[in-house]
Amino acid sequence: MDASITPESVLSSVVRITEQRSQQHLEDCLVSTLMNLAGLKNRKTFDENFSRIIASSRHLELPYAGDRRNSHLAGEHHWLGIIDIDHFKRINDTFGHVFGDEVLLLLAALMRKAFRGEDLLFRFGGEEFVVMLAPTTFDNASVVFERFRTIVAGFAFPQVGRVTISIGFVRIQSDDLPSVAIGSADKALYYAKEHGRDQVCSYEQLLDDGKLAHDLHASGEIELF
């Protein structure tokens, strides 16, 4: 046994780790509270709000006579977007958690200004945010998310400077589970991250372009072979 390891040193390490975790917990609670004050909902309320969206979206899904792959292009739908701050860990490591938290709060404020009052805004934790757009067309949803990406990229964050975001979004279908919609939007987000960041990607568009494989199980279809 290493002679330098004593009960006192072990206890000291445990106390230090506990204090660090307590400090992180306090910071998380503070940011969560400030997000609520900024008007953003939290992850705990997401499922309930998602169920309401599903209930109200059923009348939006009318029969589509065109190519089924392009059905998301017809009419108005609810849309779910995941917003993720690019290189957020680098921001925390370089400038400290105080400025990292400030970036989160300023991003929340920018979201409140950029999106409509009927759109639902959530902070999911860490540097990840979720938006559920009220019914609109695919083209409008694309414009809305791209406009927000541009707003963030052009904003001067104190001390930190320029910050970029990546966004993946998907149409919310009337038979979706929350995990399915989140999973699809997350795949689009991952694609955006893997292909340069600072961009907006649509899950349906990536499928149509052959850049993502269609998940049969996630869509509720049955794979026979």
pLDDT in tens, 151-171: 999 999 999 999 999 999 999
Output 124 or 57, whichever has higher pLDDT.
124
CATH number for the domain running over 41-208: 3.30.70.270
106 closest CA partner among 142, 145, 160, 144: 160
List of residues 6+ apart from 49 with CB closer than 8 A = 41, 120, 122, 132
- The secondary structure of 183-195 as a DSSP string is HHHHHHHHHHHHT
Over residues 39-56, mean pLDDT = 88
| Domain extent listing, the chain | 7-37, 41-208
The pTM score is 0.78
DSSP E strand boundaries for the chain: 41-42, 77-85, 120-125, 128-136, 165-171, 200-202
The residues annotated with a catalytic role in the active site are 127
